[in-house]
């Protein structure tokens, strides 16, 4: 099957792209990498009147250092972030997750922001950006605004983006000292969507106790889910095997997934506990050797 006919627009600046979105907001889709959009078009699950291709828009294809963090604009490819020495050093969680996204051919074309705007609750990047407490940079002809990742993802394939808004980039703040991260997922085959995944960011105090923690699961809710009960178990405690075990049980108990043809609800719940334990064990070992 092929897409329904549409009018193709190719703006060369952010202002042109925003003007096109403002004019055709209810009948337009934005094309960046196209790894999510193209299948939807081909199966006619999306049938826009206008396709706004932003690949010729200048200034959106390079990661840049900003005050206190890094900014990943809308056209930066997943493979670019995965292979960036600077980002690998700053946020080891990002390449660890990106290595699990589909296959290199997909990551060569797919964009980080495209995956975020698509907002598949089983995808790796929304989960990781929620764990990193990233900030979405959103623009329209009405101006720009910043949206925390936790507020950006709202439901299955649904974000806080208005019809006339463009996700122009995502900013990730530098991690505090004594911070360790971890990511784990389970998929039937490498490159498949994971049945469940967990991303973790833990900052330890001078005595080795957990001072701050963000633990996020995917594949078990309509959007990335903070594992707040597990976080509470960890706060103020050294991540010993007993504490990690208690956090695992808390994580398993606070998710309420639905079953499908790929896995039952109980199996997904079990996976979240196992993956949380793996992530926290990795983080604890890293912190102990820091």
- What is residue 255's three-state secondary structure? coil
Q: What is the mean pLDDT of residues 79-83?
A: 97
* Host H or E run for residue 42: helix 37-42
Instruction: Looking at the structure, give the CATH architecture of the domain made up of residues 179-288.
Output: 2-Layer Sandwich (3.30)
Predicted structure pTM score: 0.96
The two beta strands, 64-66 and 69-73, are antiparallel
Reported as a pLDDT band with limits 50, 70 and 90, residue 290 is low
CB atoms within 10 A of CB 23: 13
Instruction: Residue count of the chain, please give it.
Output: 290
Are 37 and 132 spatial neighbours (Cβ–Cβ below 8 Å)?
A: no
Contact in structure between 145 and 164 (CB atoms under 8 Å): no
Cβ proximity of 137 and 171 under 8 Å: yes
**For residues 146 and 72, what is the distance between their CA atoms, to the nearest angstrom?**
14
Distance CA 78, CA 83 (A): 9
Q: What is the pLDDT of residue 289?
A: 64
**Is residue 57's pLDDT more than 70?**
yes
Average pLDDT over residues 1-12: 92
Side-chain half-sphere of 98: how many Cα atoms within 13 Å? 28
Average confidence (pLDDT) over 152-168 = 97
pLDDT band for position 56 (cuts 50, 70, 90): very high
- pLDDT tens string 236-264: 999 999 999 999 999 999 999 999 999 99
Pick the CATH number of 64-173 from 3.30.465.10, 3.30.1490.20, 3.30.70.270, 1.10.274.100: 3.30.465.10
55: burial class by Cβ within 10 Å (0-12, 13-18, 19+)?
middle
Lowest-pLDDT range of 25-39, 65-79, 211-225: 25-39
CATH number belonging to the domain at 7-53, selected among 3.40.50.1980, 1.10.357.10, 3.20.20.210, 3.30.43.10: 3.30.43.10
Round to whole Å and give the CA distance between 58 and 50.
21
Domain residue limits, the chain? 7-53, 64-173, 179-288
Mean pLDDT of 132-155: 98
Q: What are 166-220's pLDDT values in tens digits?
A: 999 999 999 999 999 999 999 998 888 899 999 999 999 999 999 999 999 999 9
200 pairs with which residues across the strands? 182, 215
């Amino acid at each position: 099957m092929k897409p329904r006919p549409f009018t193709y627009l190719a703006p060369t600046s952010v202002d042109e792209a925003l003007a096109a979105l403002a004019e055709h907001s209810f009948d337009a889709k934005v094309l960046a990498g196209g790894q999510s959009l193209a299948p939807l078009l081909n199966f006619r699950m999306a049938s826009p009147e206008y396709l706004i291709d932003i690949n010729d828009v200048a200034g959106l294809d390079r990661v840049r250092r900003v005050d206190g963090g890094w900014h990943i604009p809308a056209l930066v490819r997943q493979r670019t972030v995965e292979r960036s020495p600077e980002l690998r050093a700053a946020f080891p969680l990002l390449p660890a997750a990106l290595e699990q996204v589909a296959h290199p051919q997909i990551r060569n074309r797919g964009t980080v922001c495209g995956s975020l705007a698509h907002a598949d609750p089983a995808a790796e990047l929304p989960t990781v950006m929620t764990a990193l407490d990233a900030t979405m940079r959103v623009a329209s002809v009405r101006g720009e605004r910043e949206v925390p990742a936790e507020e950006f993802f709202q439901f299955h394939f649904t974000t806080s983006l208005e019809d006339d808004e463009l996700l122009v980039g995502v900013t990730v703040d530098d991690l505090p000292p004594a911070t360790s991260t971890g990511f784990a997922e389970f998929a039937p085959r490498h490159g498949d969507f994971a049945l469940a995944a967990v991303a973790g960011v833990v900052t330890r105090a001078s005595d080795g106790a957990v001072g701050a923690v963000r633990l996020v699961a995917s594949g078990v809710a309509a959007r990335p889910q903070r594992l707040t009960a597990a976080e509470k178990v960890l706060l103020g405690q050294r991540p010993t095997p007993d504490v990690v075990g208690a956090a695992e049980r808390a994580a398993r108990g606070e998710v309420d997934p639905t079953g499908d043809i790929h896995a039952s609800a109980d199996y997904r719940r079990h996976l979240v506990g196992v993956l949380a334990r793996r992530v926290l064990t990795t983080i604890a070992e890293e912190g102990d050797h820091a």
